[in-house]
A and B are shown apart, each in its own frame.
Chain A
Amino acid sequence: MGFFVRWTQIMSTMFEVIPEKCTSCMQCELACSWVQTGTFRPSRSLIRVHVFDEEASYAPYACTQCDEAWCMTACPVNAITIDARTGAKIVVERLCIGCHLCTIACPFGTIFTTPETGTAAKCNLCGGAPACVVTCPTAALVSIEQPSRGGWFEPWSDLVQRRFADAHSN
C-alpha cells in the first residue's frame, strides 16, 4: 500500500480556475452533481459557478483543498481526512455525525451538508480526475499536479495517513 509515504513527498492534485475563460455554461455543475447523485442536479453540485451579470464576471469555485484545512481541524470526530493519492481533504461519511462545524469553519463556503443524510459533503477531486475538469469545454478548469506544501501539517502527517488507511480498511 502506498499510503505511508512521507507527507511532504505526496504529489497533490489541484485544479486551477481560470475565470476569464469561463462562459457560465454550468457543465461543471452538471458533471459534479452526476458524480454525487447519479442524476443531473446542480443543487447538489460541489462546484458552484457564481454569475455576476452586470459585471460580466463568472466565478467557478470549489474547495481549494487548502493546506490549513479548517474543516479538518474543526471536525470533532476526525471524519475529515486526507486522500493519500491526491492530497484532497475528504469526508468519511461513516464517521460524520452531521454537526455542521466544518461548514461553519470553512472560510470559503465550499463544504456543504446533504439534506437527506445530514452529513457533510465536499469536493474530493473525484479521486484524481475531477469530472468538472474533464467536462469544462473552455478549459477554465484545469488539473495540475504539484508537490504538496504540507508545511505546518508535517508533524502529524503519519497520523493523518494512518487515519485515512483506517477509514478505508473496512
Chain B
Amino acid sequence: MAGWTGKLLRVNLTTGKCASEPIPDAWLREYVGGRGLAARYLFEELDPTVDPLSPENKLIFATGPLTGTSVPSSARYMVVTKGALTNAITTSNSGGAWGPELRFAGYDLVLIEGRAPKPSYLFVYDDHAEVRDATRYWGCGVFETEDGLRRETGLPNLRIAGIGPAGENLVRFACIMNDKHRAAGRSGVGAVMGSKNLKAIAVRGTQGIPIADPESFLRAVWQLRRQMNENPSCHAFGELGTAATIDMTQAWGGLPTRNFQQGQFEHYANLNGNSIRDTRMYRNKACFGCTIACGRVTYLGDAWNKFLVNTHPRNWRVAGEGPEYENAWALGADTGVGDLDAVLKANWLCNDLGMDPISMGSTLAAAMELYEKGVLADDQVELPLRFGSGDALVRMVEATAYREGFGHELAEGAKRMGEKFGHPEVFMGVKGQEFPAYDPRGFQGMGVAYATCNRGACHLRAWTPGAETSGVFPPHTTEGKAPWVINEQNRSTAHDNTGICLFVAFAGGPIESLVPCTAAATGVPFTIEDFVKIGERTWNLERLWNLNAGLSRADDNLPKRLLEEPHTSGPSKGVVVRLEPMLNDYYASRGWSSDEGRPSPEKLAELGLANL
C-alpha cells in the first residue's frame, strides 16, 4: 500500500493490550484519512450518548495520507473523540512533528479505549507498542514530561503528544500538546485523555512512507511549492505570523473585546504581528515539512521576572513559542489585557499546563464581566478579576489548571460557570465551546459558520472574514453566505482529511493543488469533485453522530448578546447578527430538515451514507 500505511493501532488501556489492525480499504477511499476516517470509526464503535469522561469514550489520533511527506506543511494530525467541553463530536488538529512520526512508525491511526488502572503512557517504536507506567510524570508540565520521556527512553528523536496538569485535573478545555508548543487545542480532548489516565503517547518511527507514483507526486509538490512561493500571504505569515490578523479584525470592528462587549480594542497595537516581531520575537519556527514557518519563537528577555508564577520555577528565562492570533486575542483583547508580556506568559503557561488559551481567555473574560457587574464578590475570587489586569490573567491561568480556588469554577468553561452563578448570558460560544476571535457582528458570515460547526464555535471550518473584506460580499449582509459557508466547510474538511495544514489553503495552495498530490501518493485517481464530496460526506457523518448524541437545531444558536446587542461604536456600530435567515438557507442548501437539521434520506443516499 502506498500513501496510506493502512494500519490502525488499537490500544485498550484497561487491559494494556496493543494490537495493529488493517483499516478497511473502502473507508480509506471514502474518507481519505484524518478526520473523516476517525469519524467513521467513532460512528461505528462509540455510543454517542456516553459521558465524554467515562472509560467508554474513545480517543482517536488520525493522520492523513500526506502527513509526513514532502508536501508543504504535512505535519497535521487530528484528535477525534466526544468532547469534554461540548458533548459533541470533536476534531482538534495539531501540527509539530508528532503526526509524521506516527506515520514513520507505520500507523495512520491510533485508537485508544478504556481507562488505565494507573497513570500510564503509550510507547510506540515502529511495530512495538506497549503501555508503560507514567506515575513519575503525573503532575508534571508538558515540557518536563517530554524531556523526561526522552531521557528515560534514551531516544532524542522521540516525539511526544501528551497532557499537562490541566488534562489530569479534567479541566473541561484541556488540550493535548505535542512537541512542547503545538496543541490539539479545542473542546477538551486533553480532559478525555486525562480521564483515561493516559499521560502521553511517545512515538519513534524509522520506517519510510512509500509513494505510488513518485514522478507525478514530485511534480505536483513542486507545482504547489512554486504557487506558494509566489503568494504574498505565504510570506506575510512567515513575516508577521497569524497575529497580523489583529489589524484586520480591529479595522472592521470584528475584534471581540472584553467578552464581546466591544468590537475594537484600544491596545490592539501592543498585541499585533508587528509588535510581537519587533519586541519579543527571536526567530521563526516551522512544523514538520512546513515552508511557511508561521511559528514565532519568543523570548521575554529581561522582562522574565514580570508576573512571576509559582508552578514554573524558572519563570521562562528560556525561549517559548507564540502567541498566535487567537491566543493574543483571547488572553489579550478579550480580557482587556494590553500588555504583551502578560499575554506571552499566560500563553506559555497554557502550553506547559496543557490548556486551550481560547477557552481559557474567554472563560476568564466572562468571569471578569461577572466581577465588574458585582455578581462575583471579592471573597469569592482570589484577586480582583478586573478587565485589563495582567496579574489576574497569569494567576488565574495557573489556578485553573490546578483547579485552585476560583480556578475550580473557571475550569468548567464559561457555559457551566455562567449557569452556576445564574448568568448564562455571559457565555460567548456555541455548543458549550467558546468563540474564537471574530465577532460575527463584524463578519455576518462567521455567525452561521460558528452556529453550524459540528464541534462548536470554530473559525477553521469556514473562514469568512477573508471573503467579506476582499469584496466577495460585504461583511454586514446575509445573502449568499450560507451556501458559501457550506462549500467552504466541505472543502476545508477534505483538506483536513489529507493531513495538510489548512494554512496552505490561505497561502496559495487551495485544495485543488492537494488533489494531484493525494492521487499520486495513494495511487487512487481522486478528482476535485471526489474531494468536495468526501468533505460533504464527512460533515454529514459528523452531523448524524451529533444528532444521535442528542443535539438539534437549538444547539446551532448564538448567544443573545450577538443577536440583540449591537456595538455602540466602530465600523460595525448598530449591527446585530441576523442568524435566522442564514440558518434557514443553510439547512435548505445542505439538504437537511428545517426543524432539527437532519440530513434527508436522499442526501444520505447521495453521499453513500444511506445505511447508517
Contacts and interface: CB of A to CB of B under 8 A. Distances in A.
A42 interface: yes
Given A55-B319, A56-B299, A39 B289 contact: no
B284 interface: yes
Contacts of B207: 41, 43
B592 interface: no
Interface string B190-220: 0000000000000001111111001000000
A166 interface: no
B293 A26 contact: no
A25 B286 CA distance: 5
B285 A34 contact: no
A63 B354 CA distance: 39
Contacts of B70: 27, 30-31, 34, 40, 135
A54 B208 contact: no
A40 B208 contact: yes
B209 A25 contact: no
Given A24-B285, A53-B319, A42 B104 contact: yes
A56 B291 contact: no
Interface residues of A, number: 26
Contacts of B286: 23-26
Contact-residue bracket for chain B = 35 or more
A44 interface: yes
B97 interface: yes
B214 A54 contact: no
A40 to B, nearest CB: 4
Given A40-B69, A56-B282, A23 B208 contact: no
Nearest to A43: B206
Contact of A25 (B214, B282, B291): B291
B319 A44 contact: no
Interface string B50-69: 00000000000000000011
B167 to A, nearest CB: 21
A39 B285 contact: no
A146 interface: no
A58 B288 CA distance: 13
Contact of A43 (B69, B104, B287, B297): B104
A138 interface: yes
Interface string B168-181: 00000000000010
B312 interface: no
B240 to A, nearest CB: 15
Contacts of A34: 70
22 contacts: A23-B284, A23-B293, A24-B285, A25-B287, A25-B288, A25-B289, A25-B291, A26-B289, A27-B289, A30-B69, A31-B70, A38-B210, A40-B68, A41-B207, A42-B100, A43-B104, A43-B206, A53-B319, A55-B318, A56-B282, A137-B229, A137-B291
